Amino acid sequence: VSSLHGVKCCIAAWPDRRAPAATHRTVLLPPPAPPTPPMLLATLRGHGDAQGADVSNARVIAALALLTSGRLASAGWDQTVRVWEVPAAAAASTDVSHDEPVAPSAAASVLGPRGEYGVAALALCALRDGGLAAGFGDGVVRVWAQCSDAGGFTLAGSFSTGTVVRGLACCEGDVAQVGNDGLLRVWTPLGGGWVERRRPSGDGADGGGYLISVASASGTIFTGSDDGTARAWRAPDARGLLDRG
């Protein structure tokens, strides 16, 4: 047994009665096909249109989140959050012969239309119940719940962080949040609202710079800062809830 181009093949050998030495035959396999390059499936356009606020750089998309329903949410400097129905034809397409991507005309839902909140939407995260949370430049995180009947969204609550929100991440039902004050906060739903858990302690937990990005997996929270460092934190448990009286 031999290996060629990563594929195992057999090399057969048999004796030749008319010759003193054995004769070997080698079977050559063609090289594997090259990997398929990325293919554009859809182009989603809408940020910066009349549904958004009339501001400079209105087409900037600051954050994306894939919702549990399979839809895509986007947050923009035009002060809106948009939820897109990714075309089924694009999601299932295997046709690489066409040059024109599928381009839907509008988002399925526009949250905060026409400058309703007055500040840019900068951060997003998908929630486990199908809803989404969005962080804005005014320091407020707004939470939308998914309507069970029509698949739309309704504003279900909000909480103020005291800083420009730069990143959000779902952390086992809670929301991890970072911003311009350099602090990592973890918020949990409680009694119809949101309360802050005790902040992590240690090097880099006391501000002094911007925290720009955050991610979470398996009880660990990761943050990225403007000082060139990424840090890993153990998520606080329920015993770390602040006593709010």
Q: Which helix (H) or strand (E) holds 90?
A: helix 88-91
* Residues paired with residue 146 on neighbouring β-strands, in sequence order: 153
pLDDT band at 235 (very low <50, low <70, confident <90, very high): confident
| C-alpha span between 119 and 96 (Å, rounded) | 40
Digit-coded pLDDT (tens) for 11-59: 445 455 555 555 667 888 888 888 888 888 888 889 999 999 999 999 9
This prediction's pTM: 0.76
pLDDT value of residue 187: 94
Digit-coded pLDDT (tens) for 138-186: 999 999 998 876 678 999 999 999 999 999 999 988 999 999 999 999 9
Give the residue from 156, 114, 122, 155 showing the smallest Cα distance to 138. 122
Question: What's the CA dihedral at 163, 164, 167, 171 to 10 degrees?
Answer: 30
Query: Over the chain, what is the mean pLDDT?
Result: 80
Give the residue from 24, 25, 27, 38 showing the smallest Cα distance to 5. 27
Give the residue from 221, 144, 212, 148 showing the smallest Cα distance to 186. 221
